[in-house]
Structure 1
């Protein structure tokens, strides 16, 4: 027969739940600076996170610039590259959200590159940043294959940054790296379907 009423196990479980609730309620997300000012924990970014985000933006912006170069040099690829370019732009914008000096958010259909797309890669960037070559290959298929390789390198750079990232940024970097892998596959398939020029 089962005992009715409060048992020790039930009382300890309830006390533990109340204590955990009290601790979680005490975490209001505000941090106090030495001057006594408060700010939410989400707006306070650490220097390593800033560095990782900046490197991620730079990597995505360089890849976006490369997409634009290939589309301009080979108009036959523009229709296939348009959705991928829009996605890379969104990746750069998502990574830029946590930086102290966010770039203006152009629309997904705006062909203009992000302001940092032409900036030279920093030596303090984590991983290897894909450096766009001077001009895309003369053949559209070859240019798409080179772009696929650059998308893979960008994904590798985002993956390398995962080791140093905080959990929230780590999830974002993992998503962007996975998307770069998918882009590399799609670009390879697009190269197979593109007529030789």
Structure 2
């Protein structure tokens, strides 16, 4: 029997889409970032492209580390695979958008080298890692050029949504 009305998932999807639209609309104006870079001369634009490339590579490595964390949780707790599969696929797409390759392994953070023995705690740790990576990406917006800033804003917003969904998934796992 199909549920009618607004579900938690549809409300979250609508809220996320609205928030993402607002973030992307806010990033579109450029806020003078181009003028600041162009005012320093043609050489500065080349440097900023190098900086963007380095920033993009660092964010791709963070995505690879996050992807490895998803893999460790699924390997340790196979019952979570169905819930984590769509989120893991999105993380893989974000990593690819940032120039990372699926085979590249990121360096695991010390706290996430081995998932917890129970699935609920492992999901909470994964949610904390998603939140940490999303915060790092949001902070990187200040250093990025306009195009990369748009991408990072989108990926950071998705990461924040993943953290929320992982927290909710942890609540649904039997103790």
Runs of at least 5 residues in structure 2 that lack an aligned partner in the other structure = 1-44
Give the structure 2 partner of residue 48 of structure 1. 51
Pair 1:81-2:60 in alignment: no
4+ residue runs of structure 1 moved beyond 3 angstroms?
none
Provide the rounded CA distance (Å) in 1 between the counterparts of 2:169 and 2:131. 15
Deviations 1:131-157 (A, max 9, x none): 562210001000000100000000011
Stretches of structure 1 that go unaligned for 5 or more consecutive residues are 1-40, 97-101, 104-113, 122-129
CA contact (8 A) 1:69 1:136 kept: yes
Q: How much does 1:175 deviate?
A: 0.4
Matched, 1:155 2:158: no
Residue 57, structure 1, aligned to residue 60, structure 2: yes
Q: What's the offset of the Cα at 1:160? A: 1.1
Q: 181, 187, 191: which is aligned to 2:160?
A: 181
Structure with higher helix content: 2
SS in 2 for 1:46: helix
Give the Cα–Cα distance (whole angstroms) in 2 for the partners of residues 80 and 117 of structure 1: 22
Q: Displacement of 1:46 after TM fit?
A: 1.7
For residues 61-96 of structure 1, give each alpha carbon's deviation from its aligned partner in whole angstroms, at most 9, with x where no partner exists: 111100010011001100000000000000000010
2:105 is aligned to 117
Deviation, structure 1 residue 195: 1.3
Q: How far apart are the structure 2 equivalents of 1:173 and 1:73?
A: 30
Flag the structure with larger Rg.
1
Query: Structure 1 length as normaliser, TM-score?
Result: 0.62
Out of 70, 73, 82, which is 2:73 matched to? 70
